[in-house]
């Protein structure tokens, strides 16, 4: 939720940006699209990606899909959880 993707919310885990929808893709997203990748969606991040665990006022706490009592980690916790759950094959 901290990398701009055209047409998808980019909230940085913060209510301050809860309505922000970029018009352009960030460079890594644009390059992936140009290579034929399909963007499945966005994943949770801690507010402004600053905490060591993934919790934000927008999405709450992200659980570890293998043990919901745990968190998958910090700034990329949502991406880690989605890969561990088999939602996709790649996350940035």
**Per-residue H/E/C for the chain:** CCCCCCCCCCCCCCHHHCCCCCCCCCHHHHHHHHCCCCCCCCCCCCHHHCCCCCEECCCEECCECCECCCCCCCCCHHHHHHHHCCCCCCCC
Indicate if the pLDDT at residue 27 is higher than 90. yes
Judge whether 21 lies within some domain.
Answer: yes
Judge whether 45 lies within some domain.
Answer: yes
Question: Which residue range is the domain that position 19 belongs to?
Answer: 15-84
Judge whether 29 lies within some domain.
Answer: yes
The average pLDDT across 59-86 equals: 90
Judge whether 10 lies within some domain.
Answer: no
The average pLDDT across 27-36 equals: 97
Phi then psi for residue 67, to 5 deg, are -150, 90
Judge whether 90 lies within some domain.
Answer: no
Give the pTM.
Answer: 0.86
Judge whether 7 lies within some domain.
Answer: no
């Amino acid at each position: 939720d901290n990398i701009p993707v055209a047409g998808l919310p980019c909230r940085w885990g913060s209510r301050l940006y809860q309505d922000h929808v970029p018009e352009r893709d960030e460079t890594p997203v644009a390059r992936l699209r140009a290579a034929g990748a399909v963007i499945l969606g966005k994943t949770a991040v801690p507010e402004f990606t600053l905490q060591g665990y993934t919790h934000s006022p927008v999405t709450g706490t992200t659980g570890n899909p293998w043990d919901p009592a745990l968190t998958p980690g910090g700034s990329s916790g949502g991406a880690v959880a989605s890969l561990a759950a088999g939602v996709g094959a790649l996350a940035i």
